[in-house]
C-alpha cells in the first residue's frame, strides 16, 4: 500500500524501513508535518502515517479524502489531533498504537523527577565550567514522600511501581480506577486530597475536554507549597501561565516537562539559530527550577521498534480487509 509518512525524522525512516521488511508497503517520507498547507503531498496515497503534532482536522481530512486516502495511521497513542467524527463521516478509518513501551515514558518521567529534585541540570552546567560548589543544589529524599499520579493507565502504573520501589506513598486519580494500580500498594484519592498532600504530581492521562488544563490556577493554589510537577503526557493538561505564576510565587517548587501546549511549531526541530517568538516558553526556560525536554519520552529502541511494527501491521490489516486491531472511532 502507498503510505505518505509525515513529520518523518531519521529514526522514523530507519525503524519504519526495518519494520516494512515484513509488509512490503511503499513508504514515501515527508519531513514536513501534515496540515492544510501540506496535505496535497498525500494525494494518491491510500494511507497517511502521522505523529503527535500533525493536524488531521476536518479540513485536512476532507482534502485527504479527495486525494484517495482511506486510512490515517497514528504512530503514537494520543489522538487529540484527529477529528474522529469528520473521519467517520468521510469513511476514513483511523488507527493508533495502543501499547508500545509504557516503560519508556514512565522511566523518562522518573528521570525528569530525579533531575529537577536533585538539580542535576544545574550541577551539570556548573561542573562543565569546573565549578564544584554545592550551593543551591539541595534536594529531598523521595522515600517517604507522597507522589500523586494523575492517570493510572499502563504508563501511570509503571511510574507508580517505580515510585513504590523508592518507598513513596503513591496516590492516584483516574475516572476509570484500576485494580492493578491498587495492587501495587497505591490508593486512589479525591482531587482535592491530591493537590493538598502531594510532594510530587506526575501527569499520565490523555488530553480530552475533561482533562484540558487539569492543572490550573485553582489546583496550584491548593497544592502543597514546594511541590514538583512532572508532565510527560500532553502539554494541554497544564495551564502554563498559571504554572509560571506559581513558580514565581514559590508555590510550585519545580517543573519538569517533556510536552508543551504550543509545541507544534517548536519541537522535533533544531531552532538553535532561530529567534523564538513564543514568550511563554522563553519565560519558562529562564527559571532555574524548570527542565524542558522536547517530547522525547517515547524515544527508546524498544518503543520505536514496537511503534513502527504496530503501525505497519495496522496498514496491512486494512489493505487485506481484516478487522483493525487498533481502530479508534468517534463513539
**Residue positions annotated with a catalytic role:** 234, 263, 295
Question: What are 229's strand-pairing partners?
Answer: 201, 255
Question: What are 148's strand-pairing partners?
Answer: 171, 201
List strand residue ranges (DSSP E) for 180-263, in order: 187-188, 200-203, 227-231, 252-257
CB-based contact 147:163 (threshold 8 Å): yes
Q: Give dist(CA 125, CA 239) in Å, integer.
A: 29
List strand residue ranges (DSSP E) for the chain, in order: 2-5, 26-29, 47-50, 71-74, 93-95, 146-150, 169-173, 187-188, 200-203, 227-231, 252-257, 290-292, 327-328
Which grid coordinates belong to 102? 509504557
Longest dimension (CA), the chain: 64
Q: Residue 322: how many CB atoms within 10 A of its CB?
A: 11
Q: Give dist(CA 185, CA 171) in Å, integer.
A: 9
Sequence-ordered list of residues with C-beta below 8 angstroms from that of 81, at least 6 positions apart, any chain = 50, 52, 53, 54, 55, 56, 57
CB environment 234-254: b (16+ within 10 A), e (fewer): bbbbbbbebbbebbeeebbbb
Q: Give dist(CA 23, CA 117) in Å, integer.
A: 45
Which grid coordinates belong to 104? 519508556
Amino acid at each position: 500500500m502507498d503510505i505518505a509518512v509525515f513529520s518523518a525524522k531519521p529514526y522514523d525512516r530507519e525503524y519504519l524501513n526495518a519494520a516494512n521488511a515484513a509488509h512490503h508497503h511503499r513508504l514515501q517520507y515527508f519531513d514536513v508535518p501534515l496540515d492544510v498547507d501540506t496535505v496535497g503531498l498525500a494525494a494518491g496515497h491510500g494511507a497517511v502515517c502521522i505523529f503527535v503534532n500533525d493536524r488531521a482536522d476536518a479540513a485536512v481530512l476532507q482534502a485527504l479524502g479527495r486525494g484517495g486516502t482511506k486510512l490515517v495511521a497514528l504512530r503514537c497513542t494520543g489522538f487529540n489531533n484527529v477529528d474522529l467524527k469528520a473521519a467517520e463521516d468521510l469513511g476514513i478509518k483511523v488507527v493508533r498504537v495502543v501499547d508500545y513501551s509504557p516503560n519508556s515514558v514512565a522511566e523518562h518521567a522518573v528521570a525528569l523527577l530525579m533531575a529537577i529534585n536533585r538539580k542535576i541540570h544545574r550541577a551539570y552546567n556548573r561542573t562543565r565550567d569546573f565549578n564544584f560548589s554545592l550551593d543551591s543544589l539541595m534536594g529531598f529524599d523521595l522515600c517517604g514522600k507522597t507522589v500523586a499520579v494523575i492517570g493510572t493507565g499502563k504508563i501511570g502504573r509503571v511510574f507508580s511501581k517505580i515510585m513504590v520501589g523508592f518507598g513513596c506513598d503513591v496516590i492516584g486519580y483516574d475516572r476509570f480506577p484500576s485494580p492493578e494500580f491498587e495492587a501495587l500498594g497505591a490508593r486512589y484519592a479525591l482531587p482535592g486530597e491530591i493537590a493538598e498532600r502531594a510532594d510530587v504530581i506526575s501527569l499520565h492521562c490523555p488530553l480530552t475536554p475533561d482533562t484540558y488544563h487539569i492543572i490550573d490556577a485553582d489546583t496550584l493554589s491548593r497544592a502543597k507549597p514546594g511541590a514538583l510537577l512532572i508532565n510527560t503526557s500532553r502539554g494541554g493538561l497544564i495551564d502554563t501561565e498559571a504554572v509560571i505564576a506559581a513558580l514565581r510565587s514559590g508555590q510550585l517548587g519545580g517543573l519538569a516537562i517533556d510536552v508543551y501546549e504550543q509545541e507544534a511549531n517548536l519541537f522535533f526541530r533544531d531552532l538553535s539559530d532561530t529567534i523564538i517568538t513564543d514568550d511563554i516558553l522563553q519565560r519558562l526556560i529562564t527559571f532555574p527550577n524548570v527542565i524542558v525536554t522536547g517530547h522525547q519520552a517515547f524515544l527508546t529502541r524498544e518503543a520505536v521498534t514496537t511503534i513502527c511494527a504496530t503501525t505497519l501491521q495496522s496498514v496491512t490489516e486494512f489493505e487485506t480487509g481484516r478487522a483493525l486491531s487498533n481502530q479508534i472511532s468517534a463513539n
